[in-house]
Structure 1
Amino acid sequence: MASDHLASFENTRERLAGPDLVRAIAITEVLICHDGGMISAWCHKTLPFHLAVLGFYGVMLFFVLSGFLIGTIILDLLDRKASPKDWSIFLVRRWLRTLPAYYVWLIVLLIPLAYFGPYGVTWDEGKRVLPYYLTLTQNLGWPMVSGWYGVTWSLCVEEWFYITFPVLLLLLLACRVRSAVAFGTILAAFFIVPLWWRLSLPTNVDWNEVTSKIVPCRFDSIAWGILAAWFYRRFRIITTFHIPLALCGTFIVSIIWWSDKLPFPLWNGRFQSMAIYDVVGLAYALCMPAMMRLSALPPLINQTVRSISTHSYALYLCHLPLVLVAGDLQVRYGIRIRYALLFTIVTTLGGAILSWRLVERPCLKLRVRQSFQKVESRDGHSVQNKLSGF
């Protein structure tokens, strides 16, 4: 049975509130971490620890959501024995959703670097690392080549996942491996290889810059979403327990988030650096069925959440570079904090809105529809499967 229809940027009337809410929560956590940390530094203060680590949880939530949505599509393609053309449509749709906005922002952010001096790095370093950013290889098998445009590390993880998972799956299918066996084998590999890679790293590496940002080290974060999609699809009884599962997942995340307040250590540092991705990934995966059951929110809240969700990708791409520009203007030209803050808010929100209207939405309209057969909904009515704006 094919999947339920998912939230879609292209089908706003049937758009589920659950994925929108997850995106809104994730981007809010990232903004609190990054912008909150920078603004606190302007005031010569430190962002409280439990707010400073929200960036990790926000990115993890994005990864699991991405895995769940693309996992649903991949399972649909497998079930209907999709042709190579269908798989190519899947990849092209992904690239049209993510790459145009990325390259536009990459070019836009080079302008202040070239003409107004450094914000984080010099122009010479920007030119040196630009080929990596153009090919999305800035952290392919090594730490980020530069601190400039650092938020793009997670985009690289997702883009390479979108390529490697389907390609390896199709290779096994071409060898006449049964689809269920092929899918399970590749999914298992995407859990095993990242853990092995992290364990192979020296124990004294920088966790934030090495263990958590090298592309293969984070594939399992997305794989948890794909596993959740498989369980949600194959064992529909779990929808009956979506609330207990979500409460369990929320409890796990809360315990880890506040583990420093426990009267006993939750785990040692080495184990934490290896396992935290999978423990948090599992916790978020447990929340996915509840996300899919949330079809609507109160009107005012729903409108706000949907707007944040719609602009979440552009917000992610532009927020940190723009707050760094504001900080650079403050240091070099003595701009007052309130004006730097106003600059950050106006450019970030304005940039996200323009990115959506001028780049992302037009590119969505260019995408070929990923067609699927009509499927039966839970109430027995025939509905057209609507895939995510992914």
Structure 2
Amino acid sequence: MYINSKHRIFGLDIIRALAILLVLCSHSTLLLFPNQNNVYLTVTQFFGTVGVDLFFVLSGYLIGGILLKQINEGKVTVKDFLYFWVRRWFRTLPNYFLILILNILLFYFLHEKIIENIFYFFAFLQNFSSPHPGFFTEAWSLSIEEYAYIVGPLALLILMTFFKNCSKKTLYIVMSLVIIIIITFLRINYHTNHDIISHHDWSKHIRKVVIYRIDSIYYGFLAAFLAQVFHSAWNNYKKWFLVLGILLFIGLHSCVFLFNMQPENSQLFFNVFYLPLLSISLLLFFPFFSSWKTGGPFKNTITKISVLSYALYLINYSIVLLTIQNFISVEGTPLVIKFLILLLYWFLSFGLSYLLFKYFERPMTNLRDSSFFK
């Protein structure tokens, strides 16, 4: 698999590869121990959720950087923003719609049912303001990312239209902060009017709903601004930021563990503060990793995993894991059989993702660079 690494930042490839591997490890526990619950499984599954948050803040950091680059180059017309959206959509939508259609066909083949309100998935409305359905469950995070890509740049374009004399970078910050504040108030409103009865309930109604989560992307926007405007401090204090991020991450979850904090007994903390603090702790790692330009002996492997991460995320659960579970029961099977099932899951996930990337995703992303779209 040929990869043009000229413009890639190895440290960010590490973050992306780590994020998808955490997700795969988490899903592996669901495959092998679907009805079991212990501290080891809980920790592994927790880091899987952290992997998704890594994707959120990384997406915000990269997309925010692209918007800032457009601002610096004076590319702030409606045409420029349309070109920005076309490039993003050619990167994300073809894979999504292909896997969505495959999921619909696979679900019908296995269960002879058609999902109710399936058309919501084609507009990313399935979890816009309510819990995500039980079908194609990994799509919840894609809805959050897609709306974040639309809302922020559109708000920025509107601000620049009405405040032509203001600094474009100032308006970029205003846009990011206003969206973060609005989403925070929406979570406060939910907290005021609803009771959370379990961690699953919190995850379903808060963590996986668009209008309560897109602020995670915009924390990444703020980090992109800081990285550009305060470039010297971003690089000079990168190790200190890394240490601070580790301390915040460990401290945050140590409090959760030591004080037995759960969404049902610490609702204000989880509904309003936990997810932003998690995003900030992860972004504090970025000064260190965003300056990591070269790799060691595992560079090619890490870069390939990073490149396949989007395809892996789409394929590994609904397409591979649930299909395996439909035909193979792991309950009461010997450990060696479970190991073989695990190998099958990882082999199919990477193999199908490679095929998706090579024969569909990469041709689509190459098409966006054609002269027609420029």
TM-score bin, normalised by smaller chain: 0.7 to 0.9
Given that residues 10 and 364 in structure 1 are in contact (C-alpha distance below 8 angstroms), is that contact kept between their aligned partners in structure 2? no
Given that residues 173 and 222 in structure 2 are in contact (C-alpha distance below 8 angstroms), is that contact kept between their aligned partners in structure 1? no
How far apart are the structure 2 equivalents of 1:141 and 1:218? Answer: 10
How far apart are the structure 2 equivalents of 1:10 and 1:79? Answer: 28
Aligned counterpart, 1:141 = 129
TM-score of the pair, normalised by structure 2? 0.87
How far apart are the structure 1 equivalents of 2:330 and 2:285? Answer: 46
How far apart are the structure 2 equivalents of 1:134 and 1:243? Answer: 43
1:355 is the counterpart of 2:350: no
How many residues align? The count is: 353
1:16 to 5, 9, 31: 9
Aligned counterpart, 1:78 = 71
- 5 Å-filtered alignment, 1:200-279, equals 200-201=189-190, 202-205=193-196, 206-238=201-233, 239-262=235-258, 268-279=266-277
Letter of the structure 1 residue corresponding to residue 67 of structure 2: I
Given that residues 193 and 216 in structure 1 are in contact (C-alpha distance below 8 angstroms), is that contact kept between their aligned partners in structure 2? no
Residue 345 of structure 1 deviates from its aligned partner by 2.5
1:123 is the counterpart of 2:121: no
Residue 319 of structure 1 deviates from its aligned partner by 1.1
The unaligned stretches of length 5 or more in structure 1 are: 1-8, 371-390
Aligned counterpart, 1:29 = 22
How far apart are the structure 2 equivalents of 1:200 and 1:265? Answer: 21
For residues 19-69 of structure 1, what are the alpha-carbon distances to aligned partners after superposition, in whole Å with 9 as ceiling and x for unaligned? 100001111111122222232227x56452221211221111111110110
- 5 Å-filtered alignment, 1:284-295, equals 284-295=282-293
Given that residues 127 and 210 in structure 2 are in contact (C-alpha distance below 8 angstroms), is that contact kept between their aligned partners in structure 1? yes
Which SS does the other structure have where 2:328 is aligned?
Answer: helix
How far apart are the structure 2 equivalents of 1:116 and 1:33? Answer: 24
Residue 21 and residue 339 in structure 1: after superposition, are their counterparts in 2 closer, same or farther (change >3 A)?
closer
Aligned counterpart, 1:345 = 346
Given that residues 327 and 340 in structure 1 are in contact (C-alpha distance below 8 angstroms), is that contact kept between their aligned partners in structure 2? no
Residue 116 of structure 1 deviates from its aligned partner by 2.3
Which SS does the other structure have where 1:141 is aligned?
Answer: coil
Q: Which moved more, 1:320-329 or 1:10-19?
A: 10-19
Aligned counterpart, 1:87 = 81
Letter of the structure 1 residue corresponding to residue 181 of structure 2: I
Aligned counterpart, 2:90 = 96
- 5 Å-filtered alignment, 1:185-204, equals 185-201=174-190, 202-204=193-195
Residue 339 of structure 1 deviates from its aligned partner by 5.6
How far apart are the structure 2 equivalents of 1:311 and 1:157? Answer: 20
Residue 306 of structure 1 deviates from its aligned partner by 0.6
Which SS does the other structure have where 1:41 is aligned?
Answer: coil
Residue 14 of structure 1 deviates from its aligned partner by 3.7
What RMSD in Å do the two structures reach over aligned CA positions? Answer: 2.6
1:304 is the counterpart of 2:301: yes
Residue 340 of structure 1 deviates from its aligned partner by 4.1
Which SS does the other structure have where 1:304 is aligned?
Answer: helix
Which SS does the other structure have where 2:182 is aligned?
Answer: helix
How far apart are the structure 2 equivalents of 1:143 and 1:215? Answer: 9
Aligned counterpart, 1:184 = 173
How far apart are the structure 1 equivalents of 2:71 and 2:6? Answer: 28
Letter of the structure 2 residue corresponding to residue 360 of structure 1: E
Given that residues 326 and 341 in structure 1 are in contact (C-alpha distance below 8 angstroms), is that contact kept between their aligned partners in structure 2? no
Residue 84 of structure 1 deviates from its aligned partner by 2.2
Identity across matched positions, percent? 27
Residue 216 and residue 341 in structure 1: after superposition, are their counterparts in 2 closer, same or farther (change >3 A)?
same
Which SS does the other structure have where 1:116 is aligned?
Answer: helix
Which SS does the other structure have where 2:60 is aligned?
Answer: helix
Given that residues 65 and 225 in structure 2 are in contact (C-alpha distance below 8 angstroms), is that contact kept between their aligned partners in structure 1? yes
Given that residues 35 and 320 in structure 1 are in contact (C-alpha distance below 8 angstroms), is that contact kept between their aligned partners in structure 2? no
Given that residues 64 and 224 in structure 1 are in contact (C-alpha distance below 8 angstroms), is that contact kept between their aligned partners in structure 2? yes
Given that residues 13 and 306 in structure 2 are in contact (C-alpha distance below 8 angstroms), is that contact kept between their aligned partners in structure 1? yes
TM-score of the pair, normalised by structure 1? 0.84
1:132 to 116, 120, 144: 120
Given that residues 35 and 319 in structure 1 are in contact (C-alpha distance below 8 angstroms), is that contact kept between their aligned partners in structure 2? no
Which SS does the other structure have where 1:296 is aligned?
Answer: coil
Letter of the structure 2 residue corresponding to residue 64 of structure 1: V
1:67 to 60, 64, 75: 60
Residue 143 of structure 1 deviates from its aligned partner by 1.5
1:162 is the counterpart of 2:149: yes
How far apart are the structure 1 equivalents of 2:243 and 2:143? Answer: 31
Residue 14 and residue 166 in structure 1: after superposition, are their counterparts in 2 closer, same or farther (change >3 A)?
closer
Aligned counterpart, 2:102 = 108
Residue 278 and residue 362 in structure 1: after superposition, are their counterparts in 2 closer, same or farther (change >3 A)?
same
Residue 313 and residue 306 in structure 1: after superposition, are their counterparts in 2 closer, same or farther (change >3 A)?
same
How far apart are the structure 2 equivalents of 1:13 and 1:248? Answer: 31
Residue 344 of structure 1 deviates from its aligned partner by 2.0
Residue 79 of structure 1 deviates from its aligned partner by 2.2
1:150 is the counterpart of 2:140: no
